[in-house]
């Protein structure tokens, strides 16, 4: 489903070259659930952006469901993301002028889905927000905004779901509920899940844990 080959990402900063990912290689089979862990600044968010085609590597390649993202321009990458990828960002990235339900429903409508409204309602219900559907993001707590972002990503039925610290803003009970939803999606729809987390309970639910240290893979182990 996903093959990362010798991914390197560096930034030129005046005369100084900052390498934030070096020579990262691994592959993920369809239906797998992997967790990427590592200290703050170790390159986790950068790696997720490369894998999802949101960003391009300095060297190396990403194969997403058989497509090499390297030669694609921004429009072609956006198309592949729309077809196959769900992304839950660390900073939610909800649209402030849309209500909770509109944030979930509009991407579905843009894809021409006819049942966008009932599907958006169903997913908001599943993340526990049925009584917040007409709230705007500014009227929601951080945890509630995070759950809208989760509903939006799930409603799209992605082949691969990328999530950057999806329980970072949630209390442990709500976090648990989001983890259970991820597990359900993985089990029932066979969705491949790549998650970045500090939460050891969440990492432990994944079948495999890749540990980054200073931009490189320090370990890559199966959990069961």
Nearer to ligand ADP, 89 or 154 (CB): 89
Burial (CB count within 10 angstroms: exposed 0-12, middle 13-18, buried 19+), residue 40: exposed
40 lies in the site for ligand ADP, by CB under 6 A: yes
From ligand ADP, Mg ion, none, interface partner of 189 (C-beta below 5 to 8 A by class): none
Binding ligand ADP (rule: CB under 6 A), the pick from 22, 24, 34, 46 is 46
Distances (CA, A) of 93 to 23, 89, 171: 29, 7, 20
Q: Which does 18 bind (CB under 5 to 8 A by kind): Mg ion, ligand ADP, none?
A: ligand ADP
Count, residues in the chain = 224
Residue 107 binds ligand ADP, judged by CB under 6 A:
no
Contact positions toward Mg ion, by CB under 5 A? 44-45
Give CA–CA dist 106/89, Å, rounded. 18
Site string for ligand ADP, 135-174 (x = CB under 6 A): ----------------------------------------
Tokens describing residue 35: 């967790």
- Smallest distance from ligand ADP to CB 184, Å: 26
Cβ contacts of residue 197 below 8 Å, gap of 6+? 35, 36, 37, 165, 166, 167, 168, 203
Would you count residue 42 as binding ligand ADP (CB under 6 A)?
yes
Q: Please, are residues 52 and 81 in contact by the beta-carbon 8 Å criterion?
A: yes
SS3 61: strand
Q: Which residues pair with 194 in a beta bridge?
A: 34, 162
11 binds ligand ADP (CB under 6 A): yes
Residue closer to ligand ADP (CB basis): 34 or 100: 34
The vertex-70 CA angle with 66 and 71, nearest 5°, equals: 100
Interacting residue with ligand ADP among 6, 25, 41, 70 (CB under 6 A): 41
Q: Which does 41 bind (CB under 5 to 8 A by kind): ligand ADP, Mg ion, none?
A: ligand ADP
When the beta carbons of 107 and 215 are compared against Mg ion, the nearer one is 215
Q: Smaller CB distance to ligand ADP: residue 55 or 65?
A: 55
Whether the CB-CB separation of 142 and 173 falls below 8 Å is answered with no
Q: Which residues bind ligand ADP (CB under 6 A)?
A: 11, 18, 20, 38, 40-46
């Amino acid at each position: 489903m996903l093959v990362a080959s010798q991914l390197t990402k560096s930034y030129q900063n005046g005369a100084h070259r900052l390498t934030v990912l070096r020579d990262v290689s691994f592959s993920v089979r369809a239906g797998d659930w992997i967790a990427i862990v590592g200290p703050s600044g170790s390159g986790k968010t950068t790696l997720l952006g490369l894998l999802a085609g949101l960003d391009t590597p300095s060297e190396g390649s990403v194969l997403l469901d058989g497509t090499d993202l390297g030669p694609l321009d921004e429009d072609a990458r956006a198309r592949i993301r729309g077809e196959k990828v769900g992304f839950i960002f660390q900073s939610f990235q909800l649209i402030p002028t849309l209500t909770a339900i509109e944030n979930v429903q509009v991407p579905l409508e843009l894809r021409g889905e006819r049942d966008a409204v009932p599907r958006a309602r169903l997913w908001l219900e599943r993340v526990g927000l049925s009584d917040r559907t007409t709230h705007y993001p500014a009227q929601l707590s951080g945890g509630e905004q995070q759950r809208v972002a989760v509903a939006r990503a799930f409603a799209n039925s992605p082949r691969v779901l990328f999530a950057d610290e999806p329980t970072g803003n949630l209390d442990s009970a709500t976090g648990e509920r989001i983890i259970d939803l991820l597990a359900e999606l993985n089990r029932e729809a066979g969705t491949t899940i790549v998650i970045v987390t500090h939460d050891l309970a969440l990492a432990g639910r994944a079948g495999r844990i890749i540990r980054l240290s200073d931009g490189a893979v320090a370990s890559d182990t199966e959990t069961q």
